[in-house]
A and B are shown apart, each in its own frame.
Chain A
Amino acid sequence: MSVLLFAEHSQGTVKKPVLQAATLANDLAAKMGTDVVAVAIGPGAENAASTLGEYGVSKVYTVSGIDAFNDQGYSAAVAQAAKTAGAKVVVLAQTYNGKAIAPRLSIKLDAALLSGVISLPDPANGFQVQKLANTGKGVETIESTRDSVVITVRSNAYKERRDPKPVENISLNFDRVPFRTQVLGEEHASSGISITEAEIVVSGGRGLKGPENWTVLLELADALKAGTACSKPVADMDWRPHHEHVGQTGIQIGPNLYIAMGISGAIQHLAGVNSSKNIVVINKDPEAPFFKIADYGIVGDLFEVVPKMTQRVKELKG
């Protein structure tokens, strides 16, 4: 009856959203009076296992023979681990790959899919839990009608917490089937900080006037070790790469701190960032709609304001 965690990792490195999912799984298991076991797939699974032991996982099923991500292979392996562990609850981080396999997995396990949760589910009450709805404009409380559930955890909604446990590795014999999709190659668009994981995101809009002016933003981001984002027109005009575009049709993020400069705060933009815990807005127009959801605001010219902020950050971080 353990809770099973999908221990997504890249060559053994476990990213923050997965640690957050591990912490939620750990808290959920405590409520259910059970433990957390995990499944780690591909090269580096043993290293991933030792990291997860630091976050409350007591047993890791390692799966070899699948080298690259494949939704068919991964969902089959996780389903097999769930059956082996007798787990009725499977927890995944809502990452690109987590999102890709969770629906398949929910069908294999005939489980209810609770996707993008932002709070701790209540196992005594149909795993009742909250998620965002209408792209962050609302909050929805959902409940499962099934005993089995697959839960994906939204990034940065649940804080990771260390809870070291001795961890045991067990290799899982996985009956590999031929895959119908094959990865041909990868192209990394940025070596920077992923904005879905970043604690701080600095974002710019059309108010920056052109791609050549981005230094002012990048310097602040650099000083803060923040991820960088942009509004849709900025990505559409190729001032910044598409993977920085946040909003209703871009990426949805929920960092601890979102700093927006030269962005008006159109409703479609806000839909991607309104779950940020703290919002700072810098805009020369006092009527800019963004101020309505801001925690801190400066009405002024970003080209004057931002360098002062960068300077101060550098002093503080010394």
Chain B
Amino acid sequence: MKSLVCISHVPDTTTKIKYDAAGKGLDKTGVTFVINPYDEFGLVRAIEIKEKTGSGDVTVLCVGGPEVEPTLRKALAIGADNAARVDMDPTDSRSVAEQIAAYAKGKGFDLIFAGKESIDSNGSAVPGMVAELLDLPFISLATSLEFEGDKAKVSREIDGGYEKLESSLPLVLSCQKGMAEWRIPNMRGIMMARTKPLEVVAGHPMDAYVLTKKLELPSAKAGCIYVEPENAAQLVDMLHDKGLI
């Protein structure tokens, strides 16, 4: 299998979010960036498939500036073979999807993996758009991937359960927990990653479909009302009086 894994470069999950004074973007001082956790599920699955079949390769792709390269190197250290960066500021989902589709076109990928959403913009938008732009089938919220003959067998989360699907290849998948276990890169992987190819491709700039006007923190809570443990029943009354239960 020839796989492409779309990697979004996002603030580490422990980041305490601050926005810049203009409310236009994230205040990046002291923020560590990582591979979007959902993308890592697809990445590891792609590597497992290659290891199991002993053929094919795994390319990781990120649309972004030079600052995303350490994140791509980490994906190489985990086991991807090649990396590519589309040199462009990722403005909105549509423009990112257009870059990914343009990169993938004609390269013969059997599988295009993405995450169910990026933990910074939470769009759940890019993978479905890529599928549509390339006219490929798309399975979202995938929790497993196996093969039978020339078909992919995928399970997908649905409301209150799972659905089993079958699809032809090539296929676009948005992945989440269940797809694979995260892997910590070992020393050998880290050393090898330094010499693996990281190609920089020019982007095709386009006008954004969606503009960010403002980023702000949610309004602060009034504070916590404490109730003594022996008065737990009173708390229920308070919730009842507020019409919450």
Distance in angstroms between the alpha carbons of A293 and B227 in the assembled complex: 15
Residues of A within 8 A of B161 (CB): 186-190, 243
CB nearest neighbor in A for B131: A104
CB-based contact B240/A145 at 8 Å: no
CB nearest neighbor in B for A311: B233
CB-based contact B126/A103 at 8 Å: yes
Partner of B233, one of A181, A184, A309: A309
CB nearest neighbor in A for B217: A138
> Which segment of A83-91, A106-114, A163-171 sits at the interface?
A106-114
Partner of A297, one of B93, B218, B224: B224
Partner of B158, one of A186, A281, A294, A297: A186
CB-based contact A138/B244 at 8 Å: no
Residues of B within 8 A of A72 (CB): 137-138
Distance in angstroms between the alpha carbons of A71 and B66 in the assembled complex: 35
B88 to chain A, nearest CB (A): 17
Interface assignment of A176: CB less than 8 Å from any CB of chain B: no
> Which segment of B115-123, B184-192, B194-202 sits at the interface?
B115-123
Residues of A within 8 A of B228 (CB): 298, 300
CB-based contact A143/B236 at 8 Å: no
Residues of A within 8 A of B11 (CB): 134
Asked whether A186 and B239 contact (CB < 8 A) given A72-B137, A113-B210, A293-B221, the answer is: no
Interface assignment of A144: CB less than 8 Å from any CB of chain B: yes
Interface assignment of A19: CB less than 8 Å from any CB of chain B: no
Distance in angstroms between the alpha carbons of A187 and B160 in the assembled complex: 9
Distance in angstroms between the alpha carbons of A112 and B139 in the assembled complex: 22
CB nearest neighbor in B for A185: B164
CB-based contact A298/B227 at 8 Å: yes
CB-based contact B213/A113 at 8 Å: no
Interface assignment of A206: CB less than 8 Å from any CB of chain B: no
CB-based contact A256/B218 at 8 Å: no
Asked whether A295 and B229 contact (CB < 8 A) given A95-B159, A140-B212, A141-B214, the answer is: no
Distance in angstroms between the alpha carbons of A248 and B214 in the assembled complex: 22
Interface assignment of A31: CB less than 8 Å from any CB of chain B: no
Residues of A within 8 A of B242 (CB): 278
Distance in angstroms between the alpha carbons of A280 and B124 in the assembled complex: 29
Distance in angstroms between the alpha carbons of A256 and B239 in the assembled complex: 11
Asked whether A295 and B225 contact (CB < 8 A) given A71-B138, A104-B128, A190-B161, the answer is: yes
Interface assignment of B22: CB less than 8 Å from any CB of chain A: no
CB-based contact B160/A188 at 8 Å: yes
Residues of B within 8 A of A186 (CB): 158, 161-164
Distance in angstroms between the alpha carbons of A200 and B242 in the assembled complex: 14
CB-based contact A181/B207 at 8 Å: no
Interface assignment of A61: CB less than 8 Å from any CB of chain B: no
> Which segment of A44-52, A210-218, A267-275 sits at the interface?
A267-275
A44 to chain B, nearest CB (A): 15
Residues of B within 8 A of A297 (CB): 224-227
Q: Which of A37-76 contact B (CB under 8 A)?
A: 69, 71-72, 75
Interface assignment of B141: CB less than 8 Å from any CB of chain A: yes
Interface assignment of B140: CB less than 8 Å from any CB of chain A: yes
CB-based contact B129/A104 at 8 Å: yes
Interface assignment of A301: CB less than 8 Å from any CB of chain B: yes
Distance in angstroms between the alpha carbons of A308 and B147 in the assembled complex: 52
Partner of B129, one of A103, A295, A299: A103
CB-based contact B211/A200 at 8 Å: no
CB-based contact B233/A296 at 8 Å: no
Asked whether A312 and B232 contact (CB < 8 A) given A134-B17, A248-B13, A299-B226, the answer is: yes
CB nearest neighbor in A for B208: A145
CB nearest neighbor in A for B225: A296
CB-based contact B213/A142 at 8 Å: yes
CB-based contact A300/B131 at 8 Å: no
Chain A residues within 8 Å of B, Cβ to Cβ: 15, 69, 71-72, 75, 94-97, 99-104, 106-108, 111-116, 126, 128, 131-146, 179-192, 194, 196, 200, 224, 242-243, 245, 248-250, 256-257, 267-268, 271, 274-275, 278, 280-281, 291-301, 304-306, 308-309, 311-313, 316
List 30 A-B pairs, Cβ < 8 Å: A96-B157, A96-B158, A99-B124, A101-B128, A103-B93, A103-B126, A103-B128, A106-B125, A107-B97, A112-B209, A134-B11, A135-B119, A138-B19, A141-B212, A141-B215, A145-B210, A181-B171, A186-B164, A243-B161, A248-B119, A257-B245, A278-B244, A280-B235, A298-B226, A298-B228, A298-B235, A299-B229, A300-B228, A301-B229, A309-B236
Starting from the known contacts A103-B127, A144-B211, A181-B139, 11 additional A-B residue pairs (CB-CB under 8 Å) come to A103-B93, A107-B132, A115-B93, A132-B122, A144-B209, A184-B153, A248-B119, A256-B244, A267-B15, A280-B239, A295-B221
Query: Can you list the 4 inter-chain pairs with the closest CB atoms, starting with the nearest?
Result: A300-B229, A103-B128, A312-B233, A188-B161
Chain B residues within 8 Å of A, Cβ to Cβ: 11, 13-17, 19, 26, 37-38, 93-94, 97, 119-129, 131-133, 136-141, 153, 157-168, 171, 176-178, 207-218, 221-222, 224-229, 232-233, 235-240, 242, 244-245
